[in-house]
Chains A and B, each alone.
Chain A
Amino acid sequence: MLPLYLLTAAKNKPVLIELKTGETYQGDLVNLDPWMNLTLSNVIHTNTGADEFSKETEVYIRGMHIKYLRIPDEIMDYAKEQNLLNMEQRNKNVKRRGGDRNQSGGGGRDHRRGGRGGNRRFQGDRHYNNNHHYQQRDNE
């Protein structure tokens, strides 16, 4: 299980974030991205010394400066369930795809290769996005 998957399963659930500075934010996880940047709603902020508290309606937090996250215990089971469901769904799709191919009449092999080509392009796309990532990283 990847941490980001687990975290995605915790959407709309209460979480606690501690930043590297020692501040904590507690609120409902609204959204996250692949860098673990987060948005929270209905947040209680605690400062480093744990002696000042404030309420905020919404906060955006940079993933890079998070120390740890605490999430509800039951999310683990929920995430595992989701994972299984997704796998099943994907298997179904693969089967259906196989069916399409046969109908179109071509030999399975050749079409498979075509499929990989499509994937390669997709990877190129991802690479592009990765550059974007590096850009952000480098700057930070």
Chain B
Amino acid sequence: MSDLKEFMGKKVHVITADARFFEGVLQGYDNSTNIILQDCIERILYSEEDVDEENQEIPLGLYIIRGGEVACVGEIDPAKYATIDWSTLKASTLKTTKNPL
């Protein structure tokens, strides 16, 4: 298992297996990569085609995400982050990694 230790207490982005995009402060994790996100928000970004949709930012609060659902955790670079205008950012849809059960 690679180490999430370096991300502790920092703001991170998390992409989950069902193609959702979260942002929050990593407050904890365990051996199975269950993670705690504090002040978690979910971002919904629309692609160029969805002209009449507005990007959303949904405040969620304190979250525990099951390890099995975590596809990717990335540390946020505050300098770069500040330059991003989330309301106008366009992004294409991620495919899910999900095995429909």
Indicate if A touches B (C-beta under 8 A). Answer: yes
Measured CB to CB, the residues of A under 8 A from B are: 1-7, 20-21, 36, 63-73, 75-76
22 A-B pairs whose Cβ atoms sit less than 8 Å apart in the complex: A1-B27, A1-B28, A3-B28, A3-B29, A4-B30, A4-B34, A6-B27, A7-B64, A20-B98, A64-B68, A65-B101, A66-B66, A67-B65, A67-B66, A67-B69, A68-B16, A68-B63, A69-B63, A70-B62, A71-B62, A72-B62, A76-B38
Given contacts A67-B69, A76-B38, contact A20 B63 (CB under 8 A): no
The answer for the CA separation of A75 and B61 in the assembled complex, in Å, is: 11
B45 part of interface (Cβ distance < 8 Å): no
- Secondary structure class of chain B's binding surface, majority of residues: strand
Main secondary structure of the interface of A (DSSP, over half): mixed
**Chain B residue nearest to A5 in the complex (CB):** B28
Question: Could you tell me the distance in whole angstroms from the C-beta of A73 to the nearest C-beta in chain B?
Answer: 5
Q: Which B residues are CB-close (under 8 A) to A21?
A: 101
Contact B69 A3 (CB under 8 A): no
Q: Which residues of B from 18 to 37 have beta carbons under 8 Å from A?
A: 18, 27-30, 34-36
Asked if A36 contacts B66 (CB within 8 A), the reply is: yes
B29, B62, B69, B98: which has the most chain A beta carbons within 10 Å? B62
Check A2 against B30 for contact (C-beta < 8 Å). yes
